[in-house]
Amino acid sequence: MAILPAIVGFLPMPGGALVSAVMLTDLVKRYEVDAEEATFVNYWFRHLWVPIWPLYPSFIIGAMIVDVSYFKVIEACYPVTIGMILAGIVFLRDYITLPNLSELRFRDAVLSLYPLILVVILAIILKIDLAITLLLAVLVLYIHKRPKSKQMIRILKRTVDPKIILLIFAVMFYKDLIAFTHSAQIFFEHLKELKIPTHMASFLLAFVVGFAVGIEISYSAIALPLLTAFTGVGSDFIPKNLMLVFGAGLLGVMMSPLHLCLILTSEYYSADMSKVYRFLIPAGIILATTVWLAYLI
C-alpha cells in the first residue's frame, strides 16, 4: 500500500493520488484497512518525490527562479524527501516485515504493474503527452481485461463525478485569486514589519501559501519569487535556504484541506477528513522537525 502510491508519485498529475487509490482498492478491502488510514497512506506516499523529482512543475519552476541546475536542487532538497519517508515509516512500523526473497517472483510483479510501467515508458522515456499516454494505457488495459458493459458503466459513473470536477475548478480559481490579489506579498511584508527573523519569515510564508492554495506549484510560483534574497540566485545560491522554503511549502500543501489529492482520496474511500488529520498532523510534525534539523545542522 505504500509502494504503489510511491511509484505512481513518479508521474505528476493533478489529483494523481486518485490513480493510486483506485489501484489499492482490492488491498484495502482484502485487509479491511480503515478508510482514514488508507487515505493517509495513499496520500502521503504519493508525494514523496515532489521536492526532488524534475517532472514536477514546482521543481522546474523553483530551479528556474533560483537559476541553478536540477542536480543542485536535488542536492539541496533531498532532506525533505527523507523527512517524508521517515514520517510515513513511523506510521507503518507495526506492519513492516522483511520479505522472503525466495518467494518473490519478478515476472509476476512486472505483470501486475504493467499498466503503470507502460505509462512510465510512454510519458517519461518516450516523452509522449501524459493525456495521450493515459488513454493508451486505458485502452491496453481494456483490451486485456475486457470488462463487461455493467462494469464500464460503474467506472464511468465514478470517474465523471460533477462534484469532483467542480472541486478542481474551485481550487484552481482560488489559486489564481491568491496570486492576483498579491496576498502572499502582503503577508510577507507584515512578517517583516513584525521583525520576525528572515529564515522564520521565509518558512512561514512558504507554509501559509502552500496551505492556502493546496497545490505544489504555489510555493515555487508565488512564495519563492519573494524569497530570492534569502535563497540566493545563480552563483549566490544557498542550498539549505531553498530546502527550508521547499520543505515549508510542501508541508503547507500536505496539511491543506484544499489539496486535490487529499480531497479525492478521502472522497474515494469515504473517509472522514477530520479523522485523517489524526495521521496527517503527527506526520507533518515529523516532516517539519526533519527539515529544521537539516537546516540548522
More confident residue, 100 or 202: 202
0.75 surpassed by pTM: yes
Lowest mean pLDDT among 43-57, 132-146, 222-236, 246-260: 132-146
Phi then psi for residue 199, to 5 deg, are -65, -40
Q: How many CA atoms lie within 13 A of 275 on its CB side?
A: 11
Q: What mean pLDDT is predicted for residues 18-29?
A: 87
Grid coordinates in use for 129?
Answer: 503527452
- For 188, other C-beta atoms within 10 Å of its C-beta total 21
Tell me the one-letter amino acid at 66.
V
pLDDT tens digits for 24-50?
888 888 888 899 999 999 999 999 999
Q: What mean pLDDT is predicted for residues 102-107?
A: 59
Helices (H), the chain: 3-8, 17-23, 25-30, 35-45, 57-66, 70-92, 106-112, 114-120, 130-145, 149-159, 162-180, 183-193, 198-213, 217-218, 228-231, 239-255, 260-269, 273-296
pLDDT tens digits for 155-199?
676 666 676 566 556 656 766 776 677 776 787 787 778 888 989
| Distances 83 to 71, 110, 220 between C-alpha atoms, Å | 19, 29, 19
Q: Which of 264, 289, 279, 248 is nearest to 44 (CA)?
A: 279
Number of domains in the chain: 1
Q: Is the pLDDT of residue 214 over 60?
A: yes
CA–CA separation, 132 and 100 (whole Å): 38
Which range of residues forms the domain containing residue 41?
A: 3-296
| Non-local CB neighbours of 258 within 8 Å, separated by 6+ positions | 171, 174, 212, 213, 214
CA–CA separation, 282 and 93 (whole Å): 14
